[in-house]
Amino acid sequence: MSKVIAVCNQKGGVGKTTTAVNLAASFAALEKKTLLIDMDPQGNASQGLGFNESQELDIHEVLDLAENPDNMTLENIAPAVMDTSLDYLKVITSGPDLAVMEIELVNAMSREHRLERIINVLRNEYEFIIIDAPPSLNLLTLNVLTAATSVLIPIQCEYYALQGMTELFKTIREVQKNLNANLKIEGALLTMYSANLSLSKQVAAEVRENLSDTVFQTMIPRNVRLSEAPSHGKPVILYDVQSTGSQAYMKLAEEILNKGK
């Protein structure tokens, strides 16, 4: 059974997609069979792995198939699972059509469980499934949280870092209560940290004070190579393995693995 980690924060620009892509790549580099599912209609996680054009079968089509549980077989889902430049990493891509799914799901039966049906078929194939959630609290995000075993929350080291956290945690509690009793908080991840900025240190201290032991020890630094990698369609570990960004995401992957022991 795989660990299914939702990377989730309704605020944009906090390093959500960067974390989903590079954490998945780091697990793959550690030879853990990993699947990245892009559930963001912007498709940035797909682009970050070099998929700049819509695929014939992406997450929108698979979610459509999942309306009927009888369609949920490995044979039907397999064409949507794409190879990447890392042997141990696969991806199910996304694109603008996924935005339509939000409307299609409104009156659908079992509308929060579409992604869960997909993952139930795939989970024995992978050790880790990482889901890049949309940057909003909508039906797509509810699907992500219903399907996940845990939530990883990236928090940017800037003013208003904790803004919106109350709403996110409220949503997580509602999902735990009504849709997924087994959902856990994997941890909060401090991103865009600058050791030479007093603001970063203040925010990091504030987040640790408010969220205590749910905050990862690993922090993701501001790093030019990390910012450049997506434009080359590569995770940072393939773009510049020696960069501080690459090393930080490897440490995060190892921290999660060690926590699970």
127: phi then psi, degrees, rounded to nearest 5: -85, -35
How many whole angstroms separate alpha carbon 258 and alpha carbon 261? 5
Amino acid 203: pLDDT = 84
Lookup: tokens for 236: 């940072």
Average pLDDT value for residue range 105-125: 92
For 32-56, how does the pLDDT look when each residue is reduced to its tens digit (9 = 90+)? Answer: 999 999 999 999 999 999 998 888 8
Amino acid 113: pLDDT = 95
- The end-to-end CA distance of the chain, in Å, is 15
Amino acid 164: pLDDT = 78
For 172-220, how does the pLDDT look when each residue is reduced to its tens digit (9 = 90+)? Answer: 999 999 999 999 999 999 999 888 888 888 888 888 888 888 999 999 9
CA 194 to chain centre: 23
Amino acid 200: pLDDT = 87
For 215-244, how does the pLDDT look when each residue is reduced to its tens digit (9 = 90+)? Answer: 999 999 999 999 999 999 999 999 999 999
How many whole angstroms separate alpha carbon 229 and alpha carbon 49? 9
Lookup: tokens for 232: 């080359």
Q: Is 90 exceeded by the pLDDT of residue 121?
A: yes
Amino acid 134: pLDDT = 93
Average pLDDT value for residue range 51-78: 93
Q: What is the pTM of this model?
A: 0.95
Q: Is 80 exceeded by the pLDDT of residue 152?
A: yes
Amino acid 249: pLDDT = 98
How many whole angstroms separate alpha carbon 8 and alpha carbon 131? 8
Amino acid 133: pLDDT = 96
